[in-house]
Amino acid sequence: MGRGRVELKRIENKINRQVTFAKRRNGLLKKAYELSVLCDAEVALIIFSNRGKLYEFCSSSSMMKTLERYQKCNYGAPETNIVSRETQSSQQEYLKLKARVEALQRSQRNLLGEDLGPLSSKELEQLERQLDASLKQIRSTRTQYMLDQLADLQRREQMLCEANKSLRRRLEESNQAGQQQVWDPTAHAVGYGRQPTQPQSDGFYQQMDSEPTLQIGYLLRCQFFNYMIKRLYSL
């Protein structure tokens, strides 16, 4: 019968572990030397025991030169591969963006009514739906803009109406105060040889107490509101 497979695990006995380490170490160093001689290969072997003792073998004149060569081969190639992968990824991204830009430019020309010959019937129907949706969006945006303008003008109209009422109220109060001053008995008690003075503000109040003058702006705004409403209903 053949020999069964031996399970590899840590040797618990300390003496047996040290003996096995010495035998395997010597055998490994011998194999490394034979490999370098028989195959003319550059071989470097580094072993640390569990106590930290170093054992090494190098077929070349310097272990440091072999390690430097190892670093160049092991770490230089991945950097080159990384740069190559990054370049390839950037090129693929550029091609995707280029195709996207060409598709957008072609779609823009189609929306402007150009290059419609190569399109199929289904693509033309889809383009028509896109144009209808765009027109609806444009009309909706224009209507909302005009409604916002109308609301702003209505707010201004309300403010002007309030200012008109306030000004009319002040004019009425000023007229009442002027009439009381004219008919005040103490105001007619003048000295000998002096003429009673007339209020100089009568002309001012007569000129300002003119409602058509105050309401000119209101009439113009009403005309503009009617024009805006007609435009909205015509959409």
In tens, the pLDDT along 162-221 reads: 888 888 888 888 888 877 765 555 544 444 444 444 444 444 334 444 444 445 555 666
CA dihedral angle for residue 68, residue 70, residue 71, residue 75, rounded to 10 degrees: 160
Q: Strand, helix or coil at 152?
A: helix
Q: For the beta carbon of residue 18, count every other beta carbon within 10 angstroms.
A: 14
In Å, what is the CA distance from 84 to each residue of 78, 81, 92, 95? 10, 5, 12, 17
Statement: residue 113 has pLDDT above 60? yes
Query: Which region holds residue 115: left if phi is over 0, alpha if psi is between -120 and 50, else beta?
Result: left
CATH of 14-59 among 3.40.1810.10, 3.30.300.20, 3.40.50.720, 3.40.50.880 = 3.40.1810.10
Query: Domain ranges in the chain?
Result: 14-59, 135-176+208-234
Average pLDDT over residues 104-119: 82
pTM score of the predicted model = 0.34
pLDDT at 134: 86
Q: In sequence order, which residues have a C-beta less than 8 Å from that of residue 64 and are 6 or more positions away?
A: none
pLDDT at 179: 75
185, 191 in Cβ contact below 8 A? no
Statement: residue 23 has pLDDT above 60? yes
pLDDT at 201: 42
Q: Strand, helix or coil at 196?
A: coil
Q: Strand, helix or coil at 121?
A: helix
